[in-house]
Amino acid sequence: MNNREFVAIGVKPGAALESQSGLQMNWPKVFGVLAGPTSGKVGAIVMHPSSNFMGHYLLDPLVQRGVSLLALNSRYAGNDSTLLMEQVIQDLGAGVRYMRERFDRVFLIGNSGGAALCAFYQAQAENLDFDTTPAGDHIDVDPSDLPPTDGIALLAAHPGRATLIRNWIDPSVISERDPTGSNAELDVFASQNGPPFSEEFLSQYRATQKTRIDEITQRVRRRLTEIRSLNNGPRDEAFIVYRTYADPRFVDLSLDPNDRQPGGNRGDSARAVNYGTNNLARFTTLTSWLSQWSPNSRADGPASLARTSVPVLQLEYTADGSVFPCDIRAWRTAAGAREEYHAIKGANHYLKGQPELLEEVADRVVEWSRRSLI
């Protein structure tokens, strides 16, 4: 077992009541695990907006190949209901500063939902262009909070939370207050509709997905204006978004085809996940919706990546159930000539049960870092 050091890094205070922990609110920190030597030529950071990456599958493989890895959590690990992307990149910035003090070169590993985060971070590190959230709230951010890195490795890279929910949200929902009611004509899980799905069905499906997202966003902005106009009113409010796991590509493998199995990346029943109690944006707040999930989110991965100047590695997991070839193309277009691309044949989203492919991924990441960063 390689040496691992628990890391606790102080960060700036965030939004009011973003945590139920008084300790975290008064002495905010982010936590991680640094595997490998604590100083040297090259160090990497892997981070996700809300998932716990402290047990990430690359910790030991990278250390065995001579690259230290900081698996860092944001302040929102395990609970993204109040998450602000503008705050998360400051958490990542604290990790980058920590590694910069110890390593000559530092690169980011954007795995899954961490990919858009890393791209957003690097774009703002190179050219900070905001001082408010999409809700219009001031956020305490300074260029010194976001030291640039030397490269980005994209692994099974989701394009961003707003893009995910736009593609995954269920347009058959009849009422935002009813988790079960369904318009049968737009039910992707109803056998009479497919698969395969007709072009007419898909066109109506995608258009109605957009309509639902836009209506939620409009309602969020109206409600935010309402509550903030009250004397001593609240600054934010919680709400629920039902059924957010219904991309037709989870069901119809002929759409945007790769080597995946049906069901997405969370089991073989996308319908069960869609109707489940916890999924994308299920529990959120007005301000968090605008920052994470709405079309107003700044954290679009490919758009952010296009604004960066560093080398990029992209590894496509060809049996990924939720990152599709069109996503890979968007990242590739954004990276342009800076990109080194490899397909990891047969890899599923989590490399679950695929130890030989995990070794291939680790080899690719380390070889690229040595060619591109040293």
Cα 28 to chain centroid distance, Å, stands at 22
DSSP state of 256: S
Helix 161-168 with 199-228: angle, nearest 10 deg: 120
C-alpha closest to that of 186 among 167, 166, 207:
207
Q: Which of 242, 272, 293 is the last residue before a domain boundary?
A: 293
| pLDDT of the residue at 1 | 47
Residues 13 and 144 in one domain: yes
Do 150 and 42 belong to one domain? Answer: yes
In this structure, are 155 and 197 located in the same domain? no
Which residue, 247, 275, 293, sits at the end of a domain?
293
Nearest Cα to 100, choosing from 50, 43, 144, 62? 43
Query: Alpha-carbon dihedral of residues 275, 276, 278, 284, nearest 10 degrees?
Result: 30
Q: Do residues 175 and 90 both lie within one domain?
A: no
b/e code 135-149 from CB counts within 10 Å (16+ = b): bebebebeeebbbbb
Predicted TM-score of the model (pTM): 0.96
Q: How many residues does the chain have?
A: 374
Distance between CA atoms of residues 22 and 181, nearest Å: 39
Provide the pLDDT for residue 2: 60
CB 263 within 8 A of CB 77: no
Q: In whole angstroms, how large is the CA radius of gyration of the chain?
A: 20
Q: Please check whether residues 276 and 343 belong to one and the same domain.
A: no
Domains in the chain, number: 2
The CATH number given to whatever domain includes residue 90 is 3.40.50.1820
Torsion over CA: 114, 117, 123, 124 (sign): negative
Domain that holds residue 136: 4-159+299-372
Same domain flag for 84 and 152: yes
Do residues 228 and 173 share a domain?
A: yes
Instruction: Let me know whether 82 and 12 are in one domain.
Output: yes
Let me know whether 307 and 267 are in one domain. Answer: no
Based on the fold, state whether residues 96 and 204 are members of the same structural domain. Answer: no
Written as six digits, the tokens of 193 are 């509709």
Identify the pLDDT of residue 13: 86
Same domain, 279 and 320: no
Choosing from 234, 258, 293, the residue where a domain stops is 293
Question: Would you list the DSSP string of 42-106?
Answer: EEEEEEESSS--TT-TTHHHHHHTT-EEEEEE-TTTT--TT--HHHHHHHHHHHHHHHHTTEEEE
How do the pLDDT tens digits run along the chain, 374 residues long?
A: 468 999 999 998 888 778 777 767 777 899 999 999 999 999 999 999 999 999 999 999 999 999 999 999 999 999 999 999 999 999 999 999 999 999 999 999 999 999 999 999 999 999 999 999 999 999 999 999 999 999 999 999 999 999 999 999 999 999 999 999 999 999 999 999 999 999 999 999 999 999 999 999 999 999 999 999 999 989 999 999 999 999 999 999 999 999 999 999 988 899 999 999 999 999 999 999 999 999 999 999 999 999 999 999 999 999 999 999 999 999 999 999 999 999 999 999 999 999 999 999 999 999 999 999 97
Does 55 share its domain with 127?
yes
Q: What is the structure's pLDDT at 45? A: 98
